Amino acid sequence: MIQRVLSGRYELEEKIGSGGMAEVYKAHDRLLARPVAIKILHAEYRSDVEFIERFHREAKSAARLSHPNIVSIYDVGVAGNDHYIVMEYVQGNTLKKKMQDEGPLELLTATRIAKDIASGLTHAHANNIVHCDIKPHNILMTEDGHAKITDFGIARAVTESTLTYGGSVVGSVHYFSPEQARGGAITPKSDVYSVGIVLYEMLTNRLPFTGDNPFTIAMKHVEEEPIAPSRYRPQIPPMLEAIICRTMSKSPEIRPTSFELVQELSKVEAALSVTVKSDPDATQVLPRTEIPPRRTVRTQEEPVADEPVEQKPFYKSKVFIMMMALVLMLGFGVGIFAAFGKVLNTEETVTVPEVKGKQLALARQILEDNKLRVNVAETYDANVPAGQVVSQDPDVGKTVKSDRLVTIYVSKGGESIDMPDLAGLAKSAAIERLQKLGLNLGSVYEKESSSEPGTVLSHDPTTGTKINRGQTIDLIVSRGEPKKKVEEVKVTREYTHVPNVENASLSVAESGIEGRGLHVGSVTYEDSTQAEGTVIAQDPSPDAEIEVGSYVDLVVARRAEPEPVREPEPEPVREPEPEPQSNPIQDDVPSREGDQAKER
């Protein structure tokens, strides 16, 4: 394969990369005598006519792009069954390889690379082309440290023709936007979201969203907020962290355009450049110093009779020095008085803005913009995503003096712990232990048992299950042994109330029903939006009084499956009814009867 020559012009030399859609080779252009990179589609896409057609159309559109931060596309063609794109060959590694080799990049380096990517996207978006697959693997680094975006042609074609191939979303799940995860409309701001993730990774060497499978990661893009990058790297300036938060907003309306992103990153780059240049150990050019002329010292033997007496200038006299000292003392006193008076008479007040539910970087910026100081404290909260503000002190709406210290409590998420074993504990002791672990008590069901009444028999979730602090735990406790019947003859019917087992898991529901001396009857499953495996209905209804030993029927939720689309059945063709034929004999009857009437 390496010895092939495509279209009699491009001589393949070596394989330099491979992806989900194509393989990339370094080749020699015999006509122009230059190195090029050639991307050849995998064999499985040769039979997709629609994909091939859009692939060529979008690759030709991307070939119109000409920008220093975009890998140029030279040619698109077909050689036998191979569909290929000829691109500019960039001598260097990908941004992903650079991060793997160097770890977290310098603040100034990461900012400049992000600005290069945004600059290239600004040119592409101006030409109505959306990349749709911005990630470090598709960013090539030149030898002089500049970034070039690649894979424009193939990314656009894949997005349009195979976005839902096989019922799954095509793309890089760690980097695509929430609208791509939902299968919604893709806009230029989808690329901006991906740039935010790339910048996040360059600064922290971490991905904001990870998971066990692509579906989990995609849902995190849609539902969760990322941990503030400053938690991993406190040196990140608030201005740069605020840019990352804006670009990674769930709402495209909040994200900046690629052009606005270039402007914001340019400001950060200028500020970081000043910081680097202010290094006191750097070589500096000092101003020229004039050397005073050497004074001649006279000896006593030299004649001095005819020389005039040298007079001291006024600015060197004692009177001038005393006057200047007095002026300085007066000025110093006035300054102290003014500063002291300002402290006593500070009346500027501000209203504490609301920052609950906001990311740490954004909350800090809002408070500082309102002339307030910020103190950050962390707390566990399973109901608030990590990195978001849980509460604040003073609370929102309070009027305080400017420069007041506001403490914001940032969620660390729900701390993951193992479910302890509560079986054998008294109910009160089990509840106390749950409270100490930061867990909440859910439903408590009773069940007849030989254990002492009030003893915990089991619980849901079970022992050893991974849970988060703040989670709800259901308990099943003993109600004691069943009462013995003293006289069989005098036994009368015993009634009990049906327990409420709706919204409980099936196993918990069965235990609760049997604990009341009842039996589980039929169990049916219905499609429902509730959690799979939970009881959504029961018969008899809760608190109904029924005879002990009766049966309770349950309806359990199951995941709803989409109904197959049925084509409407064609209507049967009806044969036209035959027209009634006239009977000459019958037609003559009335006339004959009329003639007889006339004769009469």
**Interatomic CA distance for residues 514 and 518, integer angstroms:** 5
Distances (CA, A) of 511 to 368, 420, 458, 503, 526: 56, 20, 10, 14, 21
Is 421 designated active site? Answer: no
- Bridge partners, 316 (sequence order): none
**∠ CA 94-185-243, rounded to 5°:** 55
Q: Give the C-alpha separation, 132 to 222, whole Å.
A: 17
What residue type is 394 in one-letter code?
A: P
CA distance 421 to 437: 12
Tell me the domains of the chain and their CATH numbers: 5-88 (3.30.200.20), 95-153+167-276 (1.10.510.10), 349-411 (3.30.10.20), 415-482 (3.30.10.20), 495-559 (3.30.10.20)
Task: Determine if residue 7 is left, alpha or beta; phi over 0 gives left, psi from -120 to 50 gives alpha, anything else beta.
Answer: left
Looking at residue 441, what is its pLDDT? 86
pLDDT for res 122: 94
Q: Cβ–Cβ contacts within 10 Å for residue 521, how many?
A: 13
What's the confidence (pLDDT) of residue 285? 36
pLDDT, residue 292, reads 40
Spatial contact of 22 and 138, defined as CB atoms under 8 Å apart: no
Closest CA to 245 of 226, 261, 264, 258: 226
Strands (E), 469-518: 472-478, 495-497
Residues β-bridged to residue 388 = 359
- Note if the bond before 252 is cis, omega within 30 degrees: no
Q: 418: how many CB neighbours lie within 10 A of its CB?
A: 11
Cβ neighbours for 447, distance < 8 A, ≥ 6 positions apart: 457, 476, 477, 478, 479, 511, 512, 514, 515
pLDDT given at position 282: 40
Label residue 469 exposed, middle or buried (CB < 10 Å: 0-12, 13-18, 19+): middle
pLDDT per position in the chain (600 positions), as tens?
Answer: 457 899 889 999 998 887 767 889 999 999 999 999 998 888 877 777 777 776 777 677 778 888 999 998 888 888 888 889 999 999 888 999 999 999 899 999 999 999 999 999 999 998 888 888 899 999 999 988 999 998 875 545 444 333 333 333 445 789 989 988 877 778 899 999 999 999 999 999 999 999 888 878 888 998 888 999 999 999 999 889 999 999 999 989 899 999 999 999 999 999 888 765 544 444 333 333 333 444 433 433 444 444 444 455 555 566 667 777 776 777 666 666 555 554 444 458 889 999 888 887 788 878 888 888 888 887 777 777 777 888 999 888 889 988 889 999 887 766 778 889 999 999 999 998 888 887 888 888 888 888 889 999 999 888 888 887 777 888 999 988 876 655 444 556 788 888 888 888 888 888 888 888 889 888 888 888 888 888 889 988 888 888 888 999 999 888 766 666 566 666 665 666 666 555 544 455 454 455 554 554
Q: In terms of C-beta density within 10 A (0-12 exposed, 13-18 middle, 19 or more buried), how is residue 453 classed?
A: middle
Catalytic residue among 75, 133, 151, 474: 133
Q: Is the CB of residue 147 less than 8 Å from the CB of residue 92? A: no
